[in-house]
Each structure stands twice: as C-alpha cells, then as structure tokens.
Chains A and B, each alone.
Chain A
Amino acid sequence: MATIHLPGALSGHAGGQRRVEVDGATVGKVLAALGQAHPGVGQRVLDDRGALRRHVNVFVNGESIRYLDGIETPVAGTDEVWILPAVSGGG
C-alpha cells in the first residue's frame, strides 16, 4: 500500500494521523480510497465531482502530479504520496 502524507490541517479528519496507507493503482484511485477511509479528508481534497481541488497539490515521490500524468499518475505500493496546500490558496 502507498503511504499518504497528510498536512497538519487535515490530520484531525484522519484520527490525528499524519501518515495513512491506502491501496490504489493511480493517484485518482488512491485519493478515492483515502476519501472512503476518511471522508473528512476526502471532501477537503476532492470537490463534489471527485476532482482535485484547485489549490491542493499532490506529489508522488517528490514530483508534482501536474508534471506527471495528473490523477492518472501510477502509484506503486512502495510510493510516497504527499498532499499539500498550494501557496496560492491562502487567506
């Protein structure tokens, strides 16, 4: 299972965990599985249509998925996935 690193702001919606493990062959499937396991995280990362929110960035092994294949980026069981708030979304 891939390891998902959550930002502190979302850990409260995952029982206080900063790291969770979920199954999924692509980023999209990993995020969907994450939303199933932790709905409060899921609805903050994905919008009502299941699309990644505009000001949320996802990295696989250190590289932004915007420069890979987006939510179709493959994820292997040993991969590290990071979810981070973008600099553009602050208030």
Chain B
Amino acid sequence: MNEHIDVQAGEVLLTVGTMKGAWLFAGDPERGKWRWSGPHFRGEQVYAIRFDGRGGRHRLLAGTEHGHWGAVVRSSDDLGRSWSEPAEGNLRFPEGTDAALARVWQLQPAGDDQPGTVWAGVEPAALFRSEDGGETFELVRGLWDHPHRPRWEPGGGGLCLHTVLPDPADPERMWIAISTGGVYRTDDGGRSWQARNDGVRAVFLPDKYPEFGQCVHKIAPAGGRPDRLYLQNHWGLYRSDDGGDHWEDMANGVPSDFGFPMVTHPTDPDTAWIIPLDSDEFRCTPDGQARVYRTRDAGGSWEAQTAGLPERDAWLTVLRDGFASDGLDPAGLYFGTRTGQLFGSADEGESWQALAEWLPPVVCVKAAVVP
C-alpha cells in the first residue's frame, strides 16, 4: 500500500479505477519508470476517475460507488491525499424523474474554453452537467426528455450513458453513446439530440439497422480531424468521416470485431487501437493471446501488436474504459484487465510492459499529461 505520490509538470498520470478501489500511477515523460499510490476508496467500485488540469487546477474527479451507501462524485486537489466528501448527493436525479443514480460511468471535462464544465454520463442512461468543476451536477433535460429514451434497453452492464465526447472545435457540438441506445449528437449545446447510428448494426434486433437501439460499446474522436469518429460496437467496427451522420464498417483483418474499447491517436486521424475479444458469449482475448490491434490507415487494415504481452494461456478481458492513450509523441498506451493486470506502452504499442499484475478487476484507465 502506498499512501501518496507527487507529480511534476510533464509527467504522465494514470488514473485506474477498479471494482474495489482506485490507484494512481505516475510516470516520467519517457514513461519507463512508474510509481503509484493506492488503494483509494477501498472496496468501492470506481468506474470513472480522471485528471482535470484545466484552468490551473490539478484536480482528480472520481465517480465512486459504495456497495451499501450509493454513488457520488468526489474530487481531490492534492492528488488523492484528501477527497471531498459531499454531505448530500452531488449528482441526483431530480424529483419527478422517478429515477435514482446507480453508477457514474464517465466524467468528461469540457474544452479549455469552458474550464468549469464537467459532463457526467450515468446509469440509468442520462447526462449531467457541472459548472463548478465537478462539485455539483444537474440533469441535462434535453436528453432526458428525448422521445427515444423509454425504448433504450440495458446491456450487460446496465442501461448506461458511458461516453461523452465534446467537440474540441465546436463547444455547441457533442456526442454521447448509450448501451443500448446508440450514438446521439447535439449541435446546440445539449438542448436537442439526434440519433446518429446510420450504418451501425444491431445483431440482436429484427431490424438490423434501426435508427437507434444499437449497443455501442465505445466511440472515440480521431486526433486532429473533428468530423472523424471511430466506433467499437457489440459486434462491429466502424468509422464515420461526417460527424456520425454515416458509419462504415472497417473490420478488415481482425480476429473478431467484438470488443469494448476504442482508442485513437492524439494527432494522427488515421491511427486507432482496439483489443478484440473472442465473442459476446466468450469475452476473452481470442486464442488465449493478448493482442492489441492497430490501424494506421483509418481501418483499411489492422496489425497485431504483441511484444511484451502474454502470448499463450492469456484469457483477458478489457472493458470499455479500460484502455487509454496519453497526449505525448510518441503516444503512450495503457490498458487494464478484469483480472487485474495493467500494461503500458511508451511507443504506440510496439512494445509493452506490465505496470501492475495483481490489481482488482480494472474498469477504468485514463491517462493525462500533467501541465
């Protein structure tokens, strides 16, 4: 057990949420040496934890879920030495919604031009907005009142709004993803939302290409090209070059197009990574081999990256928020597994090393460069 770490500007901070607490890993800019602290929130499920370095802050935000006492958003301005303990729930469904917060799935700071704004995606599927850096949240009514909402259905993880992507080029535009509901986009700052699932398959429905209802596992924005998005579906890999208006299949040469995370390169819009799983019925790495797959031609082809990863008898599962990149060049990559391993790469997946091997089940990995 390590109580605390300090970080310097330019270092990488990994925030790792598990089903029994959270850990922080700090790496030097070369990302060869790591130190860590944890467990934070002992015994609590932490599906969302990340660093927010906007506006001069060094704030950690965590969505924690106590098995008895429920979920709340907590923050720390001293890298986990102390955490806020909101006396009252700071993210609550208002009266009249007949809903109760089950889990915080995603905490997403808005752009640098909105340093107080933090978005939260939660279960049951809803979007919340904070204007005070994550201390208090309010329900985004424009999405809650959407006529599709009564027909969204829970996936295996519950009915969750798990991804929030503010457009870095347009503060009025944002994408969210729901399992199962699909992708929705707003072009007016969250007042109205349109389903954006054209071309995305729903294998579990009679109509395979419905307007909404897809089980989208993760969407990620291409680096440096705001209209391009990548999507890992519940079966299916897709790319959109028009802000989600249309999606094209890009499952070319992968052992399986089932999986959870989707990670993109911070600056190269043609590069993305996935970690395929065998199938929805057997959610483990295919053939017992831990393989990350990379495309460098926007999904035209994929190559396995395995150096340093276990090559046999490795039945790993990486969940939707268990894989992340940092913003450095070359990009660092990090993923955690349901069996408690944490792997890192400082060279865009060319080689990997284990940063931890015996954590509780990992459900969230985020990486940030400390300003």
Q: Is A56 an interface residue (CB 8 A)?
A: yes
A56, chain B: closest CB distance, angstroms: 6
Q: Is B98 an interface residue (CB 8 A)?
A: yes
| A40 engages B100 (CB within 8 Å) | no
Contact of A91 among B43, B86, B98 (CB under 8 A): B43
Complex Cα–Cα for A89 and B98 (A): 23
CB interface residues, B 56-75, toward A, < 8 Å: 66-70
Q: Is B3 an interface residue (CB 8 A)?
A: no
Q: Is B87 an interface residue (CB 8 A)?
A: yes
Chain B residues whose C-beta falls within 8 Å of the C-beta of A85 in the assembled complex = 67-69
A87, chain B: closest CB distance, angstroms: 10
Knowing that A42-B88, A91-B43 touch, tell me 16 more A-B residue pairs with CB under 8 angstroms. A9-B69, A39-B87, A40-B85, A40-B87, A44-B66, A44-B70, A48-B89, A48-B92, A49-B99, A51-B100, A53-B69, A85-B67, A89-B67, A90-B43, A91-B44, A91-B66
B66, chain A: closest CB distance, angstroms: 8
Number of A-B contacts (CB under 8 A): 62
Q: Is A29 an interface residue (CB 8 A)?
A: no
Q: Is A47 an interface residue (CB 8 A)?
A: yes
Q: Is B19 an interface residue (CB 8 A)?
A: yes
Q: Is A26 an interface residue (CB 8 A)?
A: no
Contact of A40 among B44, B45, B88, B98 (CB under 8 A): B88
Closest 10 pairs between A and B when the two form their complex, measured CB to CB: A91-B43, A89-B67, A44-B69, A47-B100, A48-B100, A85-B68, A40-B87, A89-B68, A43-B89, A39-B88
Q: Is A86 an interface residue (CB 8 A)?
A: yes
Chain A residues whose C-beta falls within 8 Å of the C-beta of B101 in the assembled complex = 47-48
